């Protein structure tokens, strides 16, 4: 169990490349009928997911899901990761939705659905504003807070922001700045990995800009740029570089 605990700690800190380095022979793990090996294998799969390496994470999640039921923690995590990967890596809304129906109701399942709604908006689809705000309220009221509470509020606020021209969403726009700053507070309180904090501060800048809060928008853009710079210098990777460039473009726009 010591290796699992070490990998979980590295994952929490966002030390994704270190995890991959520490498990060089992941394909040799015996995941069927060996839960400890399955947990290590799954942690590496989630690491590839966080790095945007969906071509690696999706097959690994599928492999674990074959052997473990959705009612258990290993099977649930594998299906949730698979749904996330299908949404973020391949844009498959229908397939992800079917997988989510296998997962028991929970906050972490709600977060997958929030990612589904973000993708749906980007595909030009109408999203259920009332259902989204209901899930956000549930995350706000479910204590003690954990990182997943922040994810739901963060992703829900983004979905509503990106759907801000939809008639059913407009009544909720005034609460978006408050929601995104609540997500930031939860991330800081739960010591969430730095890449999530960098991402949510970028979103906060965009949301504040849309609300007319230009000074706060600039402050959050500066914070996001600083965090992405730290990540690029400490961990590198094309994915972080692109995020940094996006944050820098947002800051430049706000400082003209």
Question: End-to-end alpha-carbon separation of the chain, Å?
Answer: 53
Domain spanning 1-102: which CATH class is it, in words? Answer: mainly alpha
* pLDDT at residue number 256: 82
Confidence of residue 12 (pLDDT cuts 50, 70, 90): confident
* pLDDT at residue number 237: 64
pTM of the model: 0.84
Q: What percent of the chain has pLDDT over 70?
A: 98
* pLDDT at residue number 139: 98
* pLDDT at residue number 1: 55
* pLDDT at residue number 84: 94
* pLDDT at residue number 236: 59
Mean pLDDT (the chain) is: 95
pLDDT of 239 over the 80 cut:
no
pLDDT digits (tens, 9 = 90+) for 198-219: 999 999 999 999 999 999 999 9
pLDDT digits (tens, 9 = 90+) for 213-237: 999 999 999 999 999 999 998 865 6
Q: How far is CA 93 from CA 54, 101, 120, 121, in A?
A: 15, 13, 7, 11
Nearest-angstrom CA–CA distance, 85 and 88: 5
Of 70, 82, 151, the closest CA to residue 118 belongs to 151
* pLDDT at residue number 13: 84
Nearest-angstrom CA–CA distance, 182 and 153: 8
pLDDT digits (tens, 9 = 90+) for 132-142: 999 999 999 99
């Amino acid at each position: 169990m010591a290796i699992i605990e070490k990998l979980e700690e590295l994952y929490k800190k966002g030390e994704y490349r270190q995890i991959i380095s520490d498990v060089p022979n992941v394909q040799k793990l015996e995941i069927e009928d060996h839960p400890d090996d399955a947990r290590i294998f799954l942690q590496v799969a989630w690491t590839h997911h966080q790095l945007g390496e969906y071509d690696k994470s999706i097959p690994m999640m599928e492999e674990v899901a074959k052997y473990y039921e959705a009612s258990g923690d290993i099977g649930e995590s594998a299906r949730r990761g698979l749904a996330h990967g299908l949404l973020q890596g391949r844009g498959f809304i229908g397939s992800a939705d079917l997988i989510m129906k296998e997962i028991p109701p929970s906050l972490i399942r709600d977060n997958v659905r929030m990612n589904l709604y973000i993708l749906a908006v980007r595909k030009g689809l109408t999203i259920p504003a009332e259902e989204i705000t209901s899930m956000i309220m549930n995350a706000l009221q479910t204590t003690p807070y954990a990182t997943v509470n922040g994810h739901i509020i963060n992703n829900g606020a983004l979905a509503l922001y990106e759907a801000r021209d939809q008639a059913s969403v407009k009544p909720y726009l005034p609460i978006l700045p408050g929601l995104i700053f609540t997500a930031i507070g939860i991330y800081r309180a739960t010591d969430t990995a730095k890449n999530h904090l960098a991402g949510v501060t970028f979103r906060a800048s965009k949301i504040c800009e849309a609300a007319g809060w230009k000074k706060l928008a600039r402050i959050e853009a500066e914070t996001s740029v600083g965090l992405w710079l730290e990540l690029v210098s400490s961990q590198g990777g094309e994915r972080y570089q692109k995020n940094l460039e996006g944050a820098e473009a947002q800051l430049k726009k706000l400082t003209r």
